[in-house]
Structure 1
Amino acid sequence: MSQSAPTPPQQPQSQPADADTDGQQPGTVPPPAAPDVPYAPAPAPVKNNIGLGLAAAFVAALVVAGVYGAIIGMTKHEIGWAAVGVGFLIGLAAGRVGGRNPVLPVASAVLSLGAVYLGQLVGEAMLIADQVKVGFSEVFFQHLSVVQEAWKADADPLTFVFFAIAAYVAFTGAKKAAV
C-alpha cells in the first residue's frame, strides 16, 4: 500500500490593497454612510388653493366675529387680546387650508378688519338689547343704524389699535401657517 504525502492546508490568497470585498470596482470611492434614517422624507406638497383658503378665512371671520362680539357683550369691555385671537384664527384658517398663495395673507388682514368691526357691532347690539330689554336680533337686524351710531360714539383710538393688531396678526399668521 502506498501512502501519499499529506497536502498542506491551503492559505487564503491575499488581495491587493485597493480591492474591495463589497463587489465594487477597485479604486472606486464607497458611498457616504447613511444617516440613522434609511431614506430622506419627501417634502410635503405645497398647497395653493386660493378658493378654499378664502372660504376658510371667511367662515372663520364670521365665527370669530360672533365670539368676539359675545365676549364684548358679556364683559361690557373691548378686550385687545381677543382681537389678536380674531386675527390669528383667520390667518391660521387661510394659511392651513389655502397654502402659500400670496393673496391669502392680504385677504386675511382685510377679513380680520371686517371681523373685528362686526364683532364690535355684535357687542354693541348685545349691550343695547340688554339696556332696552329687547332681543339681540331685533336690535342688530332692525336697528343696525342705531348700533353703528353707538359704536361711533364709543370708538376711541384704542379701538383702532385693535383693528391694526388684528390685521397684522392675520397677515403674519397666514404666512406662517401656510403649508
Structure 2
Amino acid sequence: MNQSAPPPAQPQPQPEPVDGNPYAQQPADGAPSAPQPGTVLPPPAPGVPYGAVPAPAPVRNNIGLGLVAAFVAAVVAGGVYGAIIGLTKHEIGWAAVGVGFLVGLAAGRFGGRNPVLPVASAVLSLGAVYVGQLVGEAMIGAKETSLSFSELFFQHFDVIQEAWKADADPLTFVFFAIAAYVAFTGARKAAL
C-alpha cells in the first residue's frame, strides 16, 4: 500500500503594522482592516483632538420650490380640514394648527431659509383654513339640501360664504391666527 506523506505545512502570512501603529494592521493581501474588537486604540496625535469634521450640508434657498410646496400643502391640508369639518359638523382647533404646520413644514423643507417663505406660509395657511371652512360648510349644506357638494360649492359659492359669515365666531378667527403663527414659525424652524 502506497501512502504519501501530507505536504509540508506552509507558514501563514502574518498581518503587518500599518504606519508603525501595531493596532492598525494590514493583512497579507494588502487591504487595510479595522482593529479587532476589544483593542484599545492609542490616543490621538497631539494637536488633533478630534477626527475629521464633515462638511456642512448645503443650504437650500429655492424660493420657487418652497412656494410651490407650500401651495400644494395648503391645498391638500385645506381640503382635509374641510372634510373634517364636514364630517364632524364642528371646527376643530388642532386641525387648523395642523394646516399651518404642514404648510410651514413644506415651505421650510423645500425652500430653505429665504425670509419670504415664513410670511408666504402664514398667508397660505390663512387661505387654506378659510377654504377648508368653506368646504366644510358646503359639505354640511349638501347633506341638508338636495344639492350636491360640487353644485353647492361651485354654483352657489355666495350662499356658502353667507353661511360661513353666519357661523363665524371669535373662535374661528383664533384658529386663523394660530394657523398663521404655526405656519410662520414652522417654516423658519424647518428650513435646512
* TM-score bracket relative to the smaller structure: 0.7 to 0.9
2:137 paired with 1:85: no
The answer for the alignment partner of 2:180 in structure 1 is 167
Separation of aligned partners in 2, 1:41 and 1:131? 62
1:34 deviates by 3.4
Please point out which of 71, 94, 109 is paired with 1:58: 71
Displacement of 1:113: 0.3
Structure-2 residue corresponding to 1:157: 170
Give structure 1 stretches of 5+ with no counterpart: 1-29
SS at match of 1:44: coil
Q: Which letter does structure 1 place at the counterpart of 2:81?
A: Y
RMSD: 1.5
Provide structure 2 residue ranges, at least 5 long, that are not aligned to the other structure: 1-44
The structure with the greater share of residues assigned to helix is: 1
* Structure 2 length-normalised TM: 0.76
| Superposed structure 1 runs of 4+ greater than 6 Å apart | none
CA distance in 2, matches of 1:131, 1:143: 15
Amino acid at match of 2:68: A
Higher normalized contact order (CA 8 Å, seq sep 6+, divided by chain length)? 1
Query: Shift in Å at residue 31 of structure 1?
Result: 3.9
Q: 2:47 aligns with which of 32, 36, 41?
A: 32
Tell me by how many angstroms 1:135 deviates: 1.2
Structure of larger gyration radius = 1
Deviations along 1:74-94, one digit per CA (max 9) or x if unpaired, are 000000000000000000000
Q: Partner residue of 2:132? A: 119
Higher strand share: 2
The reply on whether 1:128 has 2:128 as its aligned counterpart is no
2:156 to 114, 129, 143: 143
Partner Cα distance (1:70, 1:161) in 2: 20
- 1:102 matched to which residue of 2? 115
